[in-house]
Chain A
Amino acid sequence: MAGGVLPPPSNRGGTGWGPLRVPLLIPTWVMIGIFLLLPVLLMAVYSFLTKEFRGGVIWDFTLAAYDQFFFDRGLFGDEPPVIEWTYISIFWRSIWQAGVATLACLLVGFPTAWFIATRAPAQRTVWLFLITIPYWVNLLIRTVSLKFLIRDNGPLNEALIGLGLLDHPLPLVNTNLAVQLGLFYSYLPFMVLPIYAAVERYNFALSEAASDLYAGRWTILREIVLPMVRPGIVAGCILVFVPSLGAFLAPDLLGGAKTYMIGSLIDEQFKGSQGNWPFGAAIAVILMTMVLMVLMAQARAALKGERK
């Protein structure tokens, strides 16, 4: 993770393991096959099947799920198709929410990671440990607790009113802000840890050299530090953005109907008899395609940067 998205150049190509290479790689390929490729394949196949009314599928191949996502053909499906904005707007909102959460994680995570990485080595372990403690508690419970904290008569609002800063409670629950807060809180460590790893390896003599050559603090940050820890920042952003995009706990518990996100939409398709498995699978495939496109663009940019 620390090395960013690409392996260091020296690891590419021959490893010197010779004939043992293939047998040693077999367990990895089997694991990837069973736990990664097979489920994705299954999902892709399901997205082309026909919905069965009690939940589940009929093995009849159709594009109906994708059609439902992109086009509106009226209540009875007999009108000429127009673009269906419902789901696309849910996608947009998800991207927006995940983007805001990622930015917030970056703004808080970078100084945090910097702070930890610049402590004495013995103290760093303690700080990292403290960062991870909340994550020993189940995400559901933490999200519910957050809701408790920010609700109208929760501790946050009571404190603000008690301090005389507010007259009546600030409505936070069921807003975009609450969802962003939930996502931020859920994924912050995924931002802190890779940036920490990058900053820890940063050679602070470079900052001294830059300041010796007449660079001020902000210039050093911009010209030297950020380019050097970039792989960590990119890794952190991906690790926060991608799961935020598909999150459903935070939007479900902290948001309302107005803050519906992809994760909840997919979740819903697989629940009870109201569900629509092929539709849920199709949404997941569309989401995954989008994420892959973003990751590939990033990998290409990184490759280009390396070649330069």
Chain B
Amino acid sequence: MSTAIDVRSVVKHYGTMTALHQVSMAIRDNEFFTLLGPSGCGKTTLLRCIAGFESVSGGDILLYGRDIATLEPNYRPVNTVFQQYALFPHMSVLDNVAFGLKMKGVGLAERRARAGKMLEMVHLSAFADRMPSQLSGGQQQRVALARALAPEPKVLLLDEPLSALDLKLRQAMRVELKTLQEQTGITFIFVTHDQEEALTMSDRIAVMSQGRVQQIGTAREIYEAPNNRFVADFIGETNLLEVEVVTASGGMAEVVLPGGHRLRCAAADTTPGRHHLSIRPERLSIAAEGPLTGTVERVVYLGTDLQLLTRLPDGAPFTLRLQNSARTQVPEPGSTVSLQLEDGAARLLVD
């Protein structure tokens, strides 16, 4: 599998502020790759560096082995779907979609036919002659997508393309985007700060924070085997406990839980000392006996699930998620319960 975009130690400064610190990632051909991170972590900046709207302060960006870091945007075979769509208001939908082809010198008849095909693909054939202002947000979004796909770029960049849509439409568009990516075989680099979006759509995800890449992996890898505290905390819900490491080697560690029980678990960091342990709430159950005990404070009804908010003896909050089935025994608030961990529920993290 070849590398579509190779980002090598890219640094980006804005004045004295550093938006990207030595960011590296290799995005594979035909991959749905997602940049995920909180607001201000540098996702847009990285995307703009790849598109060419920002120049990098250091590092290289390779597109199929060719260095493109110094090329103007109009010389990069990479297209962007902008967050606010940026459709040309004075052109019809069809002319918007055909614009890239026109700039590439494709003749009128052929570019109209190809733009028409793109519109068909995003189910907007009936709207070809409308102006962008006469479309709904979701329709504009799809025009933006068709416009960026029409010149058949090697890589498509999408900056939070779904964030302006309502929930229903967003969920429908997720499926549509994924299908489109599989149909066209174009590499997608997708930016979002919505972790659910990232987990459901991506082949791989790069989790970013404060201008740094925290972890790159499949949805399962970053959810189940987070490297560090930031990733564990940012992706999904988790309980973080400070624990003492007794022994550690070969990716496994033995730690002392609050309350004195010893536990063997997977470890991202194997240096001795005090570290954080992540325990996912849905990997816990109430049992007759277990390594942890908690006092139930509140039971929150979430429909398919029940959320149990408990406190450990040392006062730390600790959350469980139980499936809401007929067999689930719901403890009374105020009662003390023993908590059992499933295999692989706990993971020792790098701080």
Contact = CB atoms under 8 A, between A and B. Distances in A.
Interface of A: 203, 205-206, 208-216, 219, 224, 227-228
A209 B82 contact: yes
Most buried by A among B51, B84, B88, B147: B88
A213 B151 contact: yes
A210 B82 CA distance: 12
Contact of B86 (A205, A227, A228): A205
Contacts of B103: 210, 213-215, 219
A212 B104 contact: no
B64 interface: no
Contacts of A224: 88
Interface in B65-109: 72-75, 78-80, 82, 84, 86-90, 99-100, 103-104
Contacts of A205: 82, 84, 86
Contacts, number: 57
Nearest to B75: A214
Given A212-B78, A212-B80, 5 more contacts: A211-B72, A212-B53, A213-B74, A214-B74, A216-B74
Contacts of A228: 89-90
Contacts of B82: 205, 208-209
A214 B104 contact: yes
Q: Does more than half of chain A's interface fall in helix, strand or loop, or is it mixed?
A: helix
B101 to A, nearest CB: 9
Contacts of A208: 53, 73, 80, 82, 86
Interface residue tally on B, bucketed by range: 20 to 34
Nearest to A219: B103
Interface of B: 51-53, 72-75, 78-80, 82, 84, 86-90, 99-100, 103-104, 147-148, 151
A308 to B, nearest CB: 9
A216 B80 CA distance: 16
Nearest to B131: A308
11 contacts: A205-B86, A206-B89, A209-B80, A209-B82, A209-B88, A210-B99, A211-B53, A211-B73, A212-B51, A212-B73, A212-B79
B321 to A, nearest CB: 42
B279 to A, nearest CB: 44
Contact of B99 (A203, A213, A216, A227): A213
Contacts of A209: 80, 82, 86-88
Nearest to A213: B100
Contacts of B75: 214
B107 to A, nearest CB: 15
Nearest to A215: B103
Contacts of A211: 52-53, 72-74
